[in-house]
Each structure stands twice: as C-alpha cells, then as structure tokens.
Amino acid sequence: MTTMTDSPVGTPTESFRLSMLLNDTRYRSLTFQFIALVAIIAFMAFVGGNLVRNLAEAGLNISYQFLYEPAGYDINQRPIEYDSQSSHGRAAIVGLLNTLIVAFLACITATVFGVVAGVLRLSNNWIVAKLMSFYVEIFRNVPVLIWILIIFSIMINALPGPREFRGDTPTASMSFFDTVAFTNRGVFAPAPQFNNSFAATAESGATSGTMDWLLVIAALLLSFFVARAIGTWASKTQESTGNRPTTWYLTLATWVVPVGLVLMFLGLTWNVPELRGFNFSGGMQVRGSLIALWFALAIYTGAFIAENVRAGILAISKGQTEAAGALGLRPNRIMSLVVLPQALRVIIPPLISQYLNITKNSSLAIAVGYMDVTGTLGGITLLQTGRAIETILLLMLFYLTVSLLISAVMNVFNNRMKLKER
C-alpha cells in the first residue's frame, strides 16, 4: 500500500520505490547516465587489461626508468642548463619549455596581428581593407608548415653570416648601438645577468639563477596587484563623486619602483654579444628555427583570429556606433571603448580554439630543427630507448594538460566578459 506523507508545504509526496528509477522522469535520466558511466568504465578496464596482458605476453613492460638515464644528445635551444650527459627527463623538460615559449610568443603575436587585421579589414579606406583581405586569404589558405619553411629559408638566405661582420671592411654591422646582430644563425642580443645573484659563487661570478628571476616575478606580481587596487579605488571615487582622480603617476611608480629596486639589489648588468672567431659569443642567441616557427604560427593563426574579430565587430549593432558618435567620440575611441569591449563576447570563444591550435601546431618544429617536446621526448628519446608507449603517453598527457589549462584560463576570462543578468 502506498503511503502518503505531507511535505513542508502541505503537498503529499510518494515514498521512493526502485521502479521509479525507470518510470519516474525525475530519476530516469540519472539512471541512464549511471548505466552509461559503468559501461564506459568497464570498457576502459577491459581495454587496459587486454593491453597489459598483450604487453606481458610480448615480454614488454611499461616503465619510466629511462627518464633517469643519460640522454647522450645535445639540444641547440636551451632555456635551462642542459648537456649531453643530462637525463632523458631533463631533455624532456627542456623540450617542454621550448614548446611553451614558442606557444606563448605565437599566441601574443597572433592576437596582435589578428586584432589589427580584423579591425582594418572593416576600414572605410578601400586600399587598407583590401590589403587586409589579401593577408587573410593568402595566409589562412596555405598550410602552416609551408610558411614555416618559407620564413626559415628567407632567414638563412637573406641574413648575413657571422663572418660578414669581420674584417676591416665588414659587409654587415650590428644594430641598436652595436648590441644586436641579425645573422642567418639567429639573432644575438644582450642577456641580463645579476652580479649579486643568490646563485653566485666564487668560481662562476655573475650568474642568473632561478631564485633571482623568482624575485623579479614576485616584484612584477606585487606591482600588478597594487596597480589594480589603484584602478579600483579610482573607479569607486569616480562613481561616488563623478570625477576620476589622476592616477597615471601612481601606476607608473607602482610598476617602476618595486622592479627597479629588485634589479638594483641583484646588480643587473647586460652581457653584450661579441664576435669571436667564426661566431658570436656572449649574450643570448635566439635561433632562426625559433623565429621561423614563432612568426609562421603567428601570421597563420592571426589570419583566423582576424576573421573572428571581424565577425565580433559586425555582431555589434550600428546603433552603438551611431550613439557613441552622437556623443562626440572619435572613431578610434568608439572602436576601443564601445565596439571592441562588446565584441569580445563573440571573439573569445573561437579565440580559445585558435590558442589551442597554436600549441598543437608547434609540434611542427622538428621541420626546422627546433627541439620542442615532440622532437626531444617524442623523437630522439623514443628512438634511443624504444619506449614508444611511454613517450607517447607522456606527450598526450602534456598536450592535454596544456590545452586544458589554456581553456580554463580563457573560460574564466570569457565568464568575466559576458553579460550578467540583473
């Protein structure tokens, strides 16, 4: 017999029965989801168990001990200390950092290219609009690998070699007050170093240790939060009084003073590259392979971002522009203050996908000899150790983790930009 009880609001409720898991619409969807989840887990367990049994029968076992063995190969672009006697694990870390560096640089540059091209493509100037249309159509319809090879070839053939900087009558000279050299081997530029480094020793002298850069980053973060607090205070003052206080000098001091004091404390100097023998020595070298990969990814993805920006701008009603113009705002101010902030709600979701594409397309670095994580862990390390399953699993985990982090950060930014219901 069904029992009826009174709910807190006086409505009779029926007691729970197992048949309700299928007959009651309140529980049916949860039941099917639970069944699907159990089926997926069982399938994955079957596949995993089958893989383990097959590997055992073949005399193979999954082990990551090879990461602690000496790598035995060199890496040309090294953001951290590394030599051929370092482990495969450290070689993988170097490749991982190289991937993150080129992905970060390409994302920033592609965003700049895309925003500029997307805005100018809607320009009233016919020549400017057509030039931007030409850029978009040319670069997005040619594979990015082709652009990588084209830019790399141009750098090798168009830029002078180090030997052309030598002699009594050199055919090439350094730029920026003889501090930067553009060569077919890459760009040689001054490198920062700290005379009062935490990592300095009597033998090494001036060094640039990890603790030093962490201190600089901490100063930058402090400046960021203080500058943000100043901006919040100025906005609240404007809301309450109608007048926004002048804060540019406070913001400038916030960014300059803490960082400047930290750099003075660490004894910042610059190690300028010099031509010695047949190559430049000192400073830092940004290899042509990195530059080619960086700019190829930037100009290729920038063409897609330009279309996203154009679509976002066109999604904004013309009434917004006309109203801003009626208030006396100039076209550039209308674009920066009225149109683009609203267009970001349309631009950001597809922009996330473009950032993910940049990160994954960076695996084409092996075409120009740039040693990213695919070239180190998924290339030389795999060939030397024969651990295909382990290296591929690590590569998948790395790209999955980076992609999820990018998506998470951009989704947080997207949630802040979208309209809030009131």
Q: Where are the domains of the chain?
A: 20-60, 68-161+302-417
Question: Is-contact 155 289, C-beta < 8 A?
Answer: no
Between CA 395 and CA 142 the distance in angstroms is 27
Amino acid letter, 325: G
- Residue 199: pLDDT band by 50, 70, 90 thresholds? low
Amino acid at 344: L
Packing angle, helices 88-120 and 288-314, rounded to 10: 40
Share of the chain above pLDDT 90, in %: 35
Length of the chain: 422
- Are 185 and 172 within 8 A, CB to CB? no
Give the residue, 17 or 148, on which the prediction is more confident.
148
Task: Show the tokens assigned to 407.
Answer: 């998506």
Burial of 168 (0-12, 13-18, 19+ CB in 10 A): exposed
Q: What is the mean pLDDT of residues 221-234?
A: 91
How far apart are alpha carbons 275 and 261 in whole angstroms?
A: 33
Q: Identify the helix (H) or strand (E) that includes residue 13.
A: strand 12-14
Q: Is the pLDDT of residue 306 over 80?
A: yes
pLDDT one-digit tens code per residue, 51-99: 778 877 777 777 888 889 998 888 888 888 888 888 999 999 999 999 9
In this prediction the pTM is: 0.81
pLDDT of residue 290: 92
The pLDDT tens digits of the residues spanning 203-227 come to 444 444 678 888 889 999 999 999 9
Given a contact cutoff of 8 angstroms between Cβ atoms, the answer to whether 410 and 308 are in contact is no
Which tens digit of pLDDT belongs to each residue from 138-171?
999 999 999 999 999 998 888 888 888 887 778 8
Res 337 pLDDT > 80: yes
Residue from 307, 302, 325, 315 nearest 419 by CA: 315
Tell me how far CA of residue 373 lies from CA of 129, 295, 297, 381, 397, in angstroms.
39, 19, 17, 10, 12
**Cα 332 from Cα 353, distance rounded (Å):** 28
The whole-number average pLDDT for the span 394-415 is 90
What is residue 207's DSSP assignment? Answer: B
pLDDT at 353 over 70: yes
CB 306 within 8 A of CB 110: no
What pLDDT does 117 receive? Answer: 93
pLDDT > 70: percent of the chain: 93
Write phi, then psi, for 393 (nearest 5 degrees): -65, -40
Q: Could you tell me if 403 and 356 are in contact, meaning their C-beta atoms sit under 8 angstroms apart?
A: yes
**Mean pLDDT in the chain?**
85
| Tokens of residue 244, six digits | 């926004």
**HSE-CB of 410 using CA atoms within 13 angstroms:** 19
CATH superfamily ID and name for 68-161+302-417? MetI-like (1.10.3720.10)
Question: From CA 237, how far away is CA 250, in angstroms rounded?
Answer: 15
Q: Which is more confidently placed, 111 or 164?
A: 111
Q: Are 114 and 308 in contact (CB under 8 A)?
A: yes
- β-strand pairing of 186-189 with 191-194: unpaired
Min mean pLDDT across 54-58, 133-137, 292-296 is at 54-58
Residues in contact with 14: Cβ distance below 8 Å, sequence separation at least 6, in sequence order: 2, 4
Q: What is the pLDDT of residue 422?
A: 54
Q: What is the CA radius of gyration of the chain?
A: 29
236 CB burial (10 A radius; 0-12, 13-18, 19+):
exposed
| Residues contacting 308, CB < 8 A, separation 6+ | 114, 118, 346, 347, 350, 351, 354
What are 419's two structure tokens? 């309209």
DSSP letters for 115-167: HHHHHHTT-S-HHHHHHHHHHHHHHHTS-HHHHHHHHHHHHHHHSPPGGGG-S
- Collapsing DSSP to helix, strand or coil, 3 comes out as coil
> Which tokens in the block code for residue 42?
């069982």
277 sits in the region (left: phi over 0; alpha: psi -120 to 50; else beta) called: left
CA 367/CA 145 separation, integer angstroms = 8
